[in-house]
Structure 1
Amino acid sequence: MSAILAKSDATDDIILQVEGVTKMYPGTVALKDVNFDVRRGAVNVLVGENGAGKSTLMKIIAGAEQPGSGRLLLDGEPIELTSSSDALRHGIGIVFQELNLFPNLSIAENVFIAHEITRGRIDIDAGAQRRTVRELLKRLELDVSPDTLVEDLRIGQQQLVEIAKALAHDARILILDEPTSALSAAEVEVLFQVIADLKSQGVAIVYISHRLEELIRIGDYITVLRDGRITGNQPMDQVDVPWIVRQMVGRETKDFSRPIGHERGGEVLTVHDVSLPRKGTGLLVDHVSLSLHAGEIVGIYGLMGAGRSELFECVLGCHPHATGDVVLDGKPLNGKAIAKRVADGLALIPEDRKADALLPILSIGSNMTLSSLAGFARGFHILRQREQNAITRFIRDLAIKVADAYLPVSSLSGGNQQKVIIARALMTAPKVLLMDEPSRGIDVGAKADIFKVMRDLAVKGLGILFVTSDLEEVMALSDRILVMSNGRITAEFDAAGATQDALVAASAIGHRVDMHEAGQVAAA
């Protein structure tokens, strides 16, 4: 009890107050009379479904958006934030869910972009920047050179660079929007250590995540948003996961159950001995073979850097120098371009939707039909009504929260953007759907929608191969589970015989084991 009281006393100082904030966009109310307190030296958790208004509220606090009504108070004094730079001058930093990095610049250049260290305001002191960044990377336990190009980093490492950018400016309030969505378990632990260090220095952390167990572990206070309104606000030690889910979606649990009552069809995808060389020496994908049947959901479990995304890229034909054979529905795909493989029945949902899938300046509808325009064409003309009917149907079937399909796709929340990408893939009428971390950055309600779509598609005969680092998801959704480690398939499980311990054990082994051996390793 004394520890809890000490925690409450240490975090009772409110540094930022959001009072009665309302924000409207054409056709929708993003925030309605929102009150939100940010306490110094505490992790202030903000949670809600995609489209609940979390990102809008954070953009207002970070100066990227201005409220329609209401006000912000910093240290008890009203403030108006007209830009992100203005917010940074007041000590408010934000790490957005979607990375904002320049891939062709180094880590050091990215950290100090637009805030360079100069010598007499004449030239950039690159040496001082590298030294500062080297200390930040050491603090984040990221063992890379400050001169490393961002494009050469894994997505999890890029996320840590974003956090380093915020730390470089000594923010008093640090907003972390889904900071662990692309991090490995080890990188998550490092981040939590950094957060604990910042709390001890009095920094206020605003933490947004869809990983509810993670929020229970790290949070001090929790605020829940639903449809732009606050539905709950409590100290974290007074709530549990079912309470959070009820406030978010109005129901108790999430449904990941596997489909029943249908049989799988014939083999629709065969991957044989596929390898992808690494820059320098070694293999990113190391002689991988697998099969997928029509109507089957096969999950690939593994940690960041296991070669899962690279395997999907090889299947889709993104790496002409990859070796091995890929056969789709009896037709060899070797030598075929990506567009031809898509036309033959392959579709990919990439891990990084911003970099690899979305065209943010185009409308929601245009993003959905981009890969299937030929199906809406007559000669040189697009049949707009047919296209609009398809857009309307997929918006309904995937429960995409959208006021108008003509709005830019960048206006949607992360989870709804993910649904747009899935709709685009399904519009090509694929035989095999490759899904790379389909639930990344998606809340519990949106997950249930997408997983229901996956189950329904499997019942209709679609073969689904998906990658995830979430044990609960891979065990609940899969008919079969493959485990990858160091570019290799290290184990294969029937869903009924898999255990979480065995999957984790197999992901840490660099060679192939059977279910029995993986279980023995887990027990040991």
Structure 2
Amino acid sequence: MSLLHVTEVSKTFPGVRALDRVSFTLRPGEVHALVGENGAGKSTLIKVLTGVYQPDEGELTYQGSPARFGTPMDAQHAGISTIYQEVNLVPLMSVAQNLFLGREPRNALGLVDRKRMEREARELLAGYGVTTDVRRPLGTLALGAQQMVALARAVMIEAKVVIMDEPTSSLEPREVRTLFGVIRDLHARGIGIVYVSHRLDELYEICDAVTILRDGRVVHTGQLAELSRIRLVSLMLGREMTEGATAFSGAATGDGDAPPVLRVRGLNSRHKLHDVSFDVRPGEVVGLGGLLGAGRSETIKAIGGAYHLDSGDVEVDGKDLRKPTTVRAVKAGIAVQPEDRKAEGIIPTLSVRENIALAVLPRLSRLGLVSDARVDEVVTAYMTRLRIKAASPDQAVGDLSGGNQQKVLLARLLATGPKALLLDEPTRGIDVGAKAEVQSLIDELAAEGLGVVLVSSDAEELIEGSDRVVVLRDGVVVGTLTGAEVTTEDLMAAIAGERS
């Protein structure tokens, strides 16, 4: 008997089919892993289950009856509770108030019984390993403790289904063990759990079943114990291991004897990065491989000074940046292309000319006055070199195709004269033709002696475009592929933890 069943559910947004005839079954007392890379459809499915979105097609069955939740509150009242990766409670209210928000205990006069609420809050949280003054504002607690408060609140509403979205992302190892103890208790009580995580060790320790999504479709569902780690990874990435190895060919080889243009040593950031180290030599493309959440983007941002580091060193051409900041990184010769070009890269309302010149205006000015002629010279040169297709340099970047927007961003980075170019998903969201042009450009830049770090969720692109691949898992370097080892097979084995 199923507790929650999804039958042939589809959901379409303008230009995107987020879910395509997805079926999913959660049984009482089952811990069911929901996995997939970025854009696979996990978040959309969760929002359909919790009433945030209404499906375009298909139906939901809950406890044996057809169900349709018009709002998240409807789903919560029915017994479906969600714990999100980002704590969605009220930081200025006390811990006790957050736990009992909307269901405060009251005395005979109908007033909130504060003493009882605080007593019950202390007793409840003790079972989750949280010992704190429940009168404190929630926002003053460590993020891990806030996450445990959110978990306690979700479970105390007598939920029959608990959806956990990356619940351990902010937890210490001790807190993770406590969480797993709570999950096992829920399991024993017949509560169904949908568990979203990218951490393979966690999945295989705590989950009974798994459903894998890719591009909005279910590509596998079944018992997790019957699925090897390497098969799980290959299904997520859409690369069959039976294809055999795809040896690297085509990228620049770099100068193996030259000193590194970029040296990264011992990057540590709480919960996210753990002793990450690697080198990049002139003319070399070093790929960062791993699943979603492995720490690839965090590594790129940390090197570029845009992500907090607890410790670690970054050197460019032998010069230590000390604690990297974005200003120091740019001055040292590091250029970073972020994963989300629209939110963190281009300024869509500005022109092509303005976007390209943005990073080099200080260099093109004298006594605070910018030389239009010098700006035009730089912009024309890079529009020509990168073959940027625009009506004119004055056209708004937001009006360009995704591929040309990406080229404008690359032009801005190259105009700074970098020594190391860090590219996070440089071909995501662009058409096949533009993708080939960007890949060719990366090869050209490496051939000219630039050191390149490449992050891509496309395993084939990463393999074909890299000289070496540094593989990350849960913020730790778990392997480095070189030479004949740069294959799809070895990459997936390293990600799955099955490569010596």
TM-score if structure 2 supplies the norm length?
A: 0.60
TM-fit CA distance, 1:205: 0.7
Q: Does 1:476 align with 2:457?
A: no
1:31 to 19, 24, 33: 19
* Corresponding position: 1:367 with 2:344: yes
Instruction: Give the alignment of 1:122-521 within 5 angstroms.
Output: 124-252=112-240, 261-263=253-255, 266=259, 316=305, 339=327, 341-342=329-330, 344-345=332-333, 365-369=342-346, 374-376=355-357, 384=397, 389-393=403-407, 398-401=426-429, 446=457, 448=459, 456=466, 469-471=474-476, 473-476=477-480
Give unpaired runs (5+ residues) of structure 1. Answer: 1-12, 275-287, 300-308, 351-356, 359-363, 404-430, 439-444, 479-499, 501-524
CA–CA distance in structure 2, aligned partners of residues 271 and 185 of structure 1: 26
Displacement of 1:263 in angstroms is 4.3
Aligned-residue offset at 1:136:
3.6
Equivalent pair of 2:83/2:165 in contact (CA under 8 Å)? yes
SS state of the match for residue 194, structure 2? strand
Matched residue type, 1:32: D
Moved more, 80-89 or 369-378: 369-378
1:464-515 deviation per Cα after TM superposition (whole angstroms, max 9, x unaligned): 99997544x344379xxxxxxxxxxxxxxxxxxxxx9xxxxxxxxxxxxxxx
Query: Deviation at 1:94?
Result: 0.8
Q: 2:157 aligns to what SS in structure 1?
A: coil
Q: Deviations over 1:349-406 (max 9, x none)?
A: 99xxxxxx98xxxxx6243326997535569977527896553458996342589xxx
Residue by residue over 1:117-172, the C-alpha shift from the partner in whole angstroms, topping out at 9 and shown as x without a partner, is: 45579654444443333334322223444344444444444433332231232211
Q: 1:469 to 1:390 in 2, by over 3 A?
A: same
Q: 1:24 to 1:327 in 2, by over 3 A?
A: closer
Q: Give CA-to-partner distance per residue, 1:398-423, whole Å, 9 cap, x none.
A: 342589xxxxxxxxxxxxxxxxxxxx
1:99 maps to amino acid:
V
Deviations 1:155-207 (A, max 9, x none): 44443333223123221100112222333433322221111001111111111
Instruction: Give the aligned residue type for 2:147.
Output: Q
AA partner of residue 356 (structure 2): G
Cα pair 2:237 2:458 within 8 Å, conserved: no
Residues 114-123 or 160-169, more deviating: 114-123
Deviation string, structure 1 residues 249-297 (Cα, Å, up to 9, x no partner): 332469999999534755767999x9xxxxxxxxxxxxx9x99775698
- Deviation per CA, 1:218-247, whole angstroms, max 9, x where unpaired? 222222222222222223343322343344
Counterpart residue identity of residue 71, structure 2: S
Using a 3 Å threshold, how does the CA distance of structure 1 residues 245 and 122 change in structure 2: closer, same or farther? same
Q: Does the Cα contact within 8 Å between 2:470 and 2:481 map onto a contact in 1? A: no
Gaps of 5+ in 2: 268-274, 289-297, 359-374, 377-392, 411-422, 432-449, 483-496
Counterpart of 1:199 in structure 2: which amino acid?
H
Whole-angstrom CA distance in 1 between matches of 2:231 and 2:107:
54
Q: Structure 2 CA distance, aligned partners of 1:208 and 1:96?
A: 10
For residues 222 and 335 of structure 1, do their structure 2 counterparts lie closer, same or farther at Cα, with a shift above 3 Å needed? closer
Q: Counterparts of 1:317 and 1:115 in 2: how far apart (Å)? A: 41
Which residue type is aligned with residue 405 of structure 2? Answer: I
Asked if the contact 2:304/2:325 (under 8 Å) is kept, the reply is no
Judging changes above 3 Å, is the alpha-carbon distance between structure 1 residues 124 and 95 closer, same or farther for their aligned structure 2 residues?
same
Q: Distance in 2 between matches of 1:194 and 1:248?
A: 28
Preserved contact between residue 402 and residue 429 of structure 2 (Cα < 8 Å)? no
**How far 1:23 moved relative to its partner?**
1.0
| Count of residues paired in the alignment | 400
The 5 A counterparts of 1:86-101 are: 86-101=74-89
> 1:40 Cα shift?
0.6
Instruction: Indicate conservation of the 8 Å contact 1:267/1:292, yes or no.
Output: yes
8 Å CA contact 1:51–1:401 kept in 2: the answer is no
Offset from partner CA, 1:289-318 (integer Å, 9 cap, x none):
x9977569899xxxxxxxxx9xx9899499
Q: Secondary structure at the match of 1:365?
A: helix
The structure-2 alpha-carbon separation of the partners of 1:376 and 1:50, relative to structure 1 and needing over 3 Å to count, comes to same
**1:381–1:345 distance in 2 versus 1, CA, 3 Å:** farther
Q: Which has the larger radius of gyration?
A: 2
In the alignment, which residue of structure 2 is the partner of 1:510? none
Is the 1:137–1:164 Cα contact (8 Å) retained in structure 2?
A: yes
- How far the C-alpha of 1:42 sits from its partner, in A, is 1.2
* 207-216 or 51-60, larger mean C-alpha shift: 207-216
Between the aligned residues of both structures, percent identity stands at 30
Q: Report the Cα distance in structure 1 between the residues aligned to 2:39 and 2:78, rounded to whole angstroms.
A: 28
Q: Distance in 2 between matches of 1:382 and 1:52?
A: 34
Summarize deviations over 1:408-457 as a string: whole Å, max 9, x none.
Answer: xxxxxxxxxxxxxxxxxxxxxxx99999xx9xxxxxx938589769x84x
TM-score of the superposition, structure 1-length normalised?
A: 0.58
* CA distances 1:58-112 after superposition (whole Å, capped 9, x unpaired): 1111111111122212221112201111111000001123432444444334434
> How far apart, in 1, do the equivalents of 2:261 and 2:303 lie?
17
TM-aligned CA deviation for residue 39 of structure 1: 0.5
